[in-house]
Structure 1
Amino acid sequence: MSNISRRQFLKGAGVATLAVAAAGMLAGCSKEDVPVIPEVTTRPVMVIFMADKGNGETVVVGETAKIDVLKTENSVKVADIDKKLLPEGYYLENEKAVVEIRKDASKGEYIIVFVTDVTYATKEVEVKLHVTNPTLGEDPQKIVKVTVAKDATTIRIGQIKLPEGYEFVPGAYEADVDYPINDAMQFAIKHV
């Protein structure tokens, strides 16, 4: 048995303590804590953009792109794809989608992301409602917000969600008529 100096003993004990502490820290790591180191913790995945042309026909649009995905993942959140990779003039069809990573002998790993050339941008408009039979002390004017297409200039009464317990004044409006959106627009409602 060899003699060990006090300094060597303390140095060895310190290394052992550090190893135990590091093991404890690693055990507490979650998938989100894994550092992203390209080509070490990630792998390349091809992105194929497809568009639905109607009648069940889908076509590949633009160039394929490449993204880095953690090696532990088997799917990709579409919202995480850099918008600069999208084909020009196209938008994500569903940003909330999660797509499975597929594997093919010729392509390697890839995902299919659906895009569209139609924008679904919206805006909110305030719609004034006039209560024709207010209760005592009730403000006869109510305002509701309605989400419409960004370029919309008209609104239909079916788009307006009335407060609970109210209805449009019977016979005052038609369901298939487009009413102009402007600051003066106001619809008459009454308590049911």
Structure 2
Amino acid sequence: MSNISRRQFLKGAGVATLAVAAAGVLAGCSNVPDKPTPGVPDKTVHIYYMIGVQPVNGEPVEISVNGLATYVTYETIKANIPANVAADYDCAKKNYDIEKDGTVTVKLQKKASAKPTKTVEIRYYEGTNPVGGTELIYSLDVDEEATVVNLSKLGLEKTDYKLADGTENSGIIKTEGKKFYAEVFVQKK
């Protein structure tokens, strides 16, 4: 063990104390936007939620953040996604930098569905005659690999129609160009 004078020991302890104190001060300046800083007024940030190159609703969302903030948290960004797109779109899970002009740009991405689907047009027939009515469902999203429409999802029990007797071919998915359709044979109840 080396000999350390009392003076050297106190000098080293003083440097260590300053380092600990400086770390505490720096931690207080972390620019956390959700925490107010005494004596610093809040600032308004304009968040542009984008789908492709178009801003959602054509207008930014205004929020108020700590005046020293340099970013907006993911939680705040997610909480302010406009209601008309919130169910179908999401943002990247990260904090978003505030630009010098006080704006934040958030590119929204379509949420991934559990399984890929395709839309099938439903065409109703009574015998060979097309049937129409506002109470009928005319399209369904089905699993991408489906070859038959689930006829129970058509909700015919709520209409004046029921599935026609002896129609095994009802609901088979066919193609017409890039479109999918299914013929459903019905009869009056």
TM-score (norm 2): 0.37
If each structure's helix is expressed as a fraction of its own residues, which one has the higher value? 2
Scaled by the length of structure 1, the TM-score of the pair is 0.36
